[in-house]
Chains A and B, each alone.
Chain A
Amino acid sequence: ETGVTQTPRHLVMGMTNKKSLKCEQHLGHNAMYWYKQSAKKPLELMFVYNFKEQTENNSVPSRFSPECPNSSHLFLHLHTLQPEDSALYLCASSQERGTGSTDTQYFGPGTRLTVL
């Protein structure tokens, strides 16, 4: 399954570093998402983009900054992170229809982030 790709797969960074996570979807979808998966919590939705516009920010700290230059690409810019931000960051995409239940979300393999 290569519909949604994420790079890098693993990232180790210090608290003063700036790095970016990249997601690309090859499915022709119009919505993209960032999720955080940490060991002790359920999957948490972070951001939603529809047609390149951010439509939801789920109370995420400003040290996480998303960017969606087009409907196929999604970035998550990271700066001055904390050790508790260490987690698996998952990107997903879907085709939003606007009414009824959501269409299926397709996930990438994730970026395993470790903050030292």
Chain B
Amino acid sequence: GNSVTQMEGPVTLSEEAFLTINCTYTATGYPSLFWYVQYPGEGLQLLLKATKADDKGSNKGFEATYRKETTSFHLEKGSVQVSDSAVYFCALSDLFSGGSNYKLTFGKGTLLTVNP
């Protein structure tokens, strides 16, 4: 079945450091790819998405490019802030088994802590 693998955390950085969180996926067909962020005590918020190969999603200084050849969707930010401390989830959309509905398959999440 489809799956998402993202780098294990936790990741600890100093403010203004460069961030990369790796994400690779296994899927049949061409799913949409997502990064969601979960701040402490809150639900998931969509950070960015890409719907086809070579698309680049971007938001709040974060970027990720849909790479079909490497089946990857790595999250990057050039200069992190303390307020970026959160758990980041990579996800793909796929069909629910045998059905016509789509569901999100998530990676396990990566905890990012940014220190001042």
Contact = CB atoms under 8 A, between A and B. Distances in A.
Q: Most chain-B Cβ atoms within 10 A of its Cβ — which of A1, A102, A106?
A: A102
A47 B89 CA distance: 20
A105 to B, nearest CB: 6
Contacts, number: 62
Contacts of B18: none
Contact of B89 (A6, A43, A108): A43
Interface stretch (A14-22, A48-56, A79-87): A48-56
Nearest to B96: A56
Contacts of B30: 101
Contacts of A68: none
Q: What class of interface size applies to chain B in its complex with A?
A: 20 to 34
Contacts of B116: none
Interface in B62-101: 89, 93, 96, 99-101
A74 interface: no
A79 B49 CA distance: 37
Interface in A73-103: 90, 92, 96, 98, 101-102
A70 to B, nearest CB: 18
B43 A102 contact: no
Given A42-B106, A109-B42, A101 B32 contact: yes
Q: Most chain-A Cβ atoms within 10 A of its Cβ — which of B31, B93, B100, B104?
A: B104
Contact of A45 (B43, B44, B104): B104
Interface residues of A, number: 26
Nearest to A50: B101
15 contacts: A1-B45, A42-B109, A43-B106, A48-B96, A55-B100, A56-B99, A90-B43, A96-B101, A98-B100, A101-B51, A102-B32, A104-B34, A105-B46, A106-B46, A108-B43
B106 A104 contact: no
B68 to A, nearest CB: 14
Contact of B102 (A42, A101, A108, A110): A101
Contacts of A90: 43-44
A-B pairs, top 9 by smallest CB distance, nearest first, are A102-B102, A101-B32, A102-B93, A107-B44, A107-B43, A43-B106, A109-B43, A110-B43, A42-B108
